[in-house]
Amino acid sequence: MSSPSFFDSPAEWRRWLQQPSSPELLLGFRKKASGKGGITYREALDEALCFGWIDGVRKRLDDDSYTIRFTPRKPGSNWSVVNLKRVEELSREGRMEPSGKLALEGRDPREARHYSAENRTKELDEALFSGHPEAWNAFASAAPSYRRTSSFWVMSAKRAETRDKRLATLIEAPEGGRTRTGTGSCGPGATSDPTRIRIRARTTPETGPVEA
């Protein structure tokens, strides 16, 4: 297996993408709890999207780090709704490169619509909880209905900023051991034991999954 490359900043990763020395790259990430710093997963994905690259499966490297393989997108490959929205934002910011625009033009709109429906039921993964192992453990051990509803609440946001805020609320809930209930709450209902939560099969744009 190839050794992972660790970048200290998004700018360093972007410079590599401008003149890639290989057709793919195994990128290493240091967990926030390690205190070692470095580029984050979201920063890496933003730069990859700008150049028409995409991330693969996350794999554990050791207690302090993990890896994700990045490769150029194939013509006609699926685009998630989240990535399509993020590319729109990156375009408005003037960050998209010609190769990234070309990859976007080569997508199949029919596949994107199919993936849109699929994305709504996709659960959040461990990479999004980087640096918050207690929150991830609580989420992963929660009832399936809570995970589905919470994931939809986060992923259905139209703006990246809103998704980040909702994810932060979700992370805070199990770690803080607080309960949020009913209309006017500030996030998903949660207790110190998320598996005991009963969630209604609905969400609200601002309050998230509502505890029954």
70-92 confidence digits (pLDDT tens): 999 988 777 877 888 899 999 99
20 or 119, which is more confident?
20
Look at residue 31 and tell me whether its pLDDT is greater than 60. yes
Q: What is the pLDDT of residues 146-178, one digit of tens each?
A: 888 888 888 877 677 788 888 888 888 755 333
- Any bridge partners for residue 60, and if so which? 66
Average pLDDT, the chain: 76
Tokens coding 32 = 């926030």
Beta strands (DSSP E) in the chain are 5-6, 25-30, 53-62, 65-72, 199-204, 208-211
| CA dihedral over 171, 176, 181, 185, signed as positive or negative | negative
Lowest mean pLDDT among 23-27, 71-75, 100-104, 123-127: 123-127
Q: Which residues does 69 contact at the CB level (< 8 Å), separation at least 6?
A: 24, 25, 26, 27, 55, 56, 57
156 or 61, which is more confident?
61
212 or 4, which is more confident?
4
200 or 76, which is more confident?
76
Q: What mean pLDDT do residues 59-76 have?
A: 90
pLDDT at 183: 31
The radius of gyration computed from the CA coordinates of the chain, to the nearest angstrom, equals 18
Q: What mean pLDDT do residues 106-119 have?
A: 55
pLDDT at 83: 86
| Rounded Cα–Cα distance for residues 165 and 44 (Å) | 19
pLDDT at 8: 94
Tokens coding 21 = 């020395």
Nearest CA to 187 out of 201, 166, 203, 202 is that of 166
Residue 58, Cβ neighbours under 10 Å: how many? 17
Look at residue 26 and tell me whether its pLDDT is greater than 90. yes
pLDDT at 155: 80
